[in-house]
């Protein structure tokens, strides 16, 4: 009995211990399984460590490549690129640059909860490899990983050898970077469209291959797109100097983009009506047009409004056309001062298969025909005097234009009159009796004419060929009068300086003309007839004035022709009596 009782207690105790051991073992196994599962902490830790090791390996390999890739570059000379490529190759691909944002931007916090991932699309053709790689590195370095879906770099059939195997070898160690190549030359516009079709991100960022992104460049633009999905937005554009390769702030005076009557991109001063809308330096401001080197837009909205015009060839005008269409079809175009991307402004080096002037002109003609209504007369009048730009549409061009007009009707777009009244009311419309029009610049000094406070016409250096400054706009009309803001230029006979008077009070007999040496350049001549019936002719000249009024100032004065400072340039010569053949 005693033995049997002891045996029973032993069995019970042994069974209990086994049960406890089983339970503990099960719990341990459950913990191990949980930790090692795909979503468990152990798996996460292992995954993190793997990612760290992979990143370390990539970084080490990239450092090795950076030390050797430019030692013996197989590329054309620097002059081919219009950039100091040799210096660029000695400049770190991942470098520190100054934060150029206004101070107000540093206190702004953006909503991190949205799902607007971004695909950056970078076309290139015979780009300097160092510039291209610095562009990519600046994006990777200054973009939150959660916001960057991918970077697609697309080679538009470049023949340069350094953009073949050396680029492929380097790119395979860059995260989220895809290298694509076209089978034939497509041109910048259509290559961007290829990237847009392949992009996985909800937002498209079209960017040039010779740019550099600064800290916090993406978040401000995504915030504006989140608030209004019908937004096309660009960063404030800084500059990478093509000679020194230095990153330079472009300043915070915030000029905004506009257009010239021959449809070039121009810089304009911020008008009063737009300044009133802004509450701080950190606010995005409305932009009539786009620079074109960096453009962000929702992918679905971009395709909804027709993308880029795929009948445009190679390069030129697509930035202005997209801005016109966005504004007139219900969207908005913005520039954000808290987003900074530097662009390398350089003499034109992009290669065209065909006549460059006529290719670009035909692109611009499409803009005029599709969007400018009766204002297109100013475009044609300002370009006819350039024989190199005289071209016409063929049947295929006309058919593609009709397809875009159908899109315009479908989107219920407003007319150009609405755009001029609502978006750029500050741009004056040229008079239709103007023959020469715009800023009048001295070719020797690059100074230009402007109206002084006392009515004299003076000389200012606050001018620039691609800026629209209304106070600098003069024109010669078909009656041979020199006019500024509705007032006529009269010769002050005591000084031979010129001043502005009411046109209906002008009593002198001077007539004005341009003796052209180039379509918009030449000497500005003033002609009069003396009391004896003799014809006298003088040329407008920039001088250091010795008269008492405005003594020692730079002034325009009429003196006998033949001087050194008598060559001038108007922005436009209008020829309204000529029309481009459209078919």
- Torsion, Cα 454 460 462 466, to 10 degrees, reads 110
CA-wise closest residue to 151 among 165, 132, 166, 169 = 132
Residue 463's pLDDT band (boundaries 50, 70, 90)?
Answer: confident
d(CA 510, CA 496): 12
Q: Give the burial string for 500-511 (b: 16+ CB within 10 Å, else e).
A: beeeeeeeeebb
Is-contact 237 291, C-beta < 8 A? yes
d(CA 77, CA 349): 13
Q: Which residues neighbour 72 within 8 Å (Cβ) at sequence distance 6 or greater?
A: none
Structural tokens at position 64: 């090795």
Give me the percent of the chain exceeding a pLDDT of 70: 86
Q: What is the pLDDT of residues 472-522, one digit of tens each?
A: 899 999 999 999 999 999 999 999 999 999 987 655 678 999 998 888 899
d(CA 482, CA 62): 63
Q: Lowest-confidence range among 382-386, 398-402, 556-560?
A: 382-386
d(CA 105, CA 283): 9
Check whether 301 has a pLDDT greater than 80: yes
pTM over 0.75: yes
Is-contact 261 379, C-beta < 8 A? yes
d(CA 283, CA 552): 43
Neighbours of 106 (CB within 10 A): 11
d(CA 150, CA 121): 9
- Torsional sign, CA 99, 280, 202, 290: negative
For the chain, list the domains and their CATH numbers.
434-573 (2.80.10.50)
Check whether 196 has a pLDDT greater than 70: yes
Check whether 465 has a pLDDT greater than 70: no
Between the alpha carbon of residue 21 and those of residues 24, 28, 54, the distances in Å are 5, 10, 41
Structural tokens at position 297: 């837009």
Check whether 66 has a pLDDT greater than 70: yes
Q: What is the pLDDT of residues 431-442, one digit of tens each?
A: 999 999 999 999
Structural tokens at position 170: 């380097």
Is-contact 450 460, C-beta < 8 A? yes
Q: Are strands 265-268 and 467-468 parallel, antiparallel or unpaired?
A: parallel
d(CA 213, CA 220): 13
Whose structure tokens read 């054309």? 76
Q: In what order do the strands lie in the sheet with 467-468?
A: 256-259, 265-268, 467-468
Is-contact 500 457, C-beta < 8 A? yes
Q: Where are the beta strands (DSSP E) in 395-520?
A: 434-439, 441-442, 448-451, 457-460, 467-468, 473-477, 482-484, 487-491, 498-502, 511-518
Check whether 337 has a pLDDT greater than 70: yes
Is-contact 153 119, C-beta < 8 A? no
Check whether 91 has a pLDDT greater than 90: yes
Angle in degrees, 0-180, between the axes of helices 356-371 and 318-328, rounded to the nearest 10: 10
Neighbours of 297 (CB within 10 A): 27
Mean pLDDT of the chain: 89
CA-wise closest residue to 239 among 97, 420, 386, 423 = 97
More confident residue, 36 or 427: 427
Q: 191, exposed or middle or buried, with CB in 10 Å at 0-12, 13-18, 19+?
A: buried
Q: Are strands 332-343 and 231-240 parallel, antiparallel or unpaired?
A: parallel
Element (DSSP H or E) covering residue 14: helix 2-36
Residue 2's pLDDT band (boundaries 50, 70, 90)?
Answer: very low
Between the alpha carbon of residue 382 and those of residues 195, 388, 502, 510, 530, the distances in Å are 35, 13, 27, 26, 35
Q: Please calculate the CA angle 495-484-380 and round it to the nearest 5 degrees.
A: 135
The arithmetic mean of pLDDT across residues 223-239, rounded, is: 98
List helix spans (H) across 215-341: 219-227, 272-275, 299-304, 318-328
d(CA 326, CA 342): 24
Residue 580's pLDDT band (boundaries 50, 70, 90)?
Answer: low
Q: Please calculate the CA angle 377-264-267 and round it to the nearest 5 degrees.
A: 120
Structural tokens at position 365: 């003609």
């Amino acid at each position: 009995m005693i033995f049997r009782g002891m045996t029973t207690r032993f069995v019970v105790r042994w069974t209990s211990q086994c049960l406890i051991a089983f339970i503990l073992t099960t719990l341990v196994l459950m913990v191990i399984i949980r930790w090692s599962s795909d979503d468990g902490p152990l798996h996460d830790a292992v995954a993190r460590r793997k990612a760290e090791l992979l990143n370390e390996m990539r970084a080490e390999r990239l450092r090795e490549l950076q030390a050797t890739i430019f030692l013996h570059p197989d590329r054309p000379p620097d002059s081919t690129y219009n950039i100091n490529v040799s210096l660029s190759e000695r400049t770190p691909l991942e470098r520190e640059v100054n934060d150029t944002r206004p101070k107000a931007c540093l206190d702004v916090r953006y909503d991190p909860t949205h799902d607007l991932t971004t695909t950056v699309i970078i076309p290139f053709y015979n780009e300097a490899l160092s510039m291209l790689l610095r562009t990519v590195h600046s994006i990777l370095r200054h973009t939150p990983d959660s916001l960057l879906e991918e970077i697609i770099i697309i080679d538009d059939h470049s023949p340069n050898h350094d953009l073949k195997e050396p680029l492929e070898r380097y790119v395979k160690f860059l995260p989220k970077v895809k290298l694509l190549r076209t089978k034939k030359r497509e041109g910048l516009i259509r290559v961007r469209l290829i990237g847009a079709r392949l992009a996985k991100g909800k937002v498209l960022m079209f960017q040039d291959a010779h740019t550099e992104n600064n800290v916090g460049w993406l978040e401000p633009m995504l915030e504006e797109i989140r608030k209004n999905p019908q937004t096309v937005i660009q960063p404030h554009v800084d500059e990478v100097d093509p000679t020194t390769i230095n990153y330079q702030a472009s300043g915070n005076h915030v000029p905004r983009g506009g257009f010239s009557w021959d449809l070039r991109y121009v810089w304009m001063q911020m008008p009063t009506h737009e300044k009133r809308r802004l509450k701080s330096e950190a606010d995005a401001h409305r932009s009539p047009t786009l620079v074109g080197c960096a453009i962000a837009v929702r992918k679905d909205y971009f395709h909804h409004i027709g993308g880029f015009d795929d009948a445009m060839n190679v390069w030129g005008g697509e930035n202005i056309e997209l801005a016109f269409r966005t504004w007139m079809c219900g969207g908005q175009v913005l520039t954000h001062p808290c987003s900074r991307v530097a662009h390398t402004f350089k003499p034109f080096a992009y290669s065209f298969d065909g006549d460059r002037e006529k290719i670009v002109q035909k692109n611009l003609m499409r803009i005029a025909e599709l969007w400018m209504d009766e204002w297109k007369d100013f475009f044609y009048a300002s370009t006819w005097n350039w024989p190199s730009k005289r071209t016409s549409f063929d049947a295929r061009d006309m058919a593609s234009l009709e397809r875009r007009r159908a899109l315009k009707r479908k989107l219920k777009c407003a007319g150009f009159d609405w755009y001029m009244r609502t978006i750029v009311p500050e741009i004056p419309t040229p008079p239709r009796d103007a023959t020469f029009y715009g800023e009048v610049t001295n070719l020797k000094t690059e100074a230009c004419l402007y109206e002084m406070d006392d009515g004299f016409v003076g000389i200012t250096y606050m001018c620039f060929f691609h800026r629209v400054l209304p106070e600098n706009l003069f024109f010669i009309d078909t009656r041979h009068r020199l006019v500024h803001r509705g007032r006529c230029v009269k010769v002050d006979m005591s000084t031979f300086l010129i001043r502005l008077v009411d046109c209906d009070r002008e009593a002198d007999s001077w007539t004005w003309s341009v003796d052209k040496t180039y379509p918009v350049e030449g000497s500005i001549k003033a002609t009069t007839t003396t009391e004896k019936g003799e014809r006298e002719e003088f040329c407008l000249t920039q001088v250091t004035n010795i008269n008492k009024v405005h003594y020692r100032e730079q002034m325009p004065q009429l003196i006998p022709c033949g001087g050194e400072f008598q060559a001038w340039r108007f922005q436009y010569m209008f020829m309204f009596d000529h029309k481009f053949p459209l078919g």
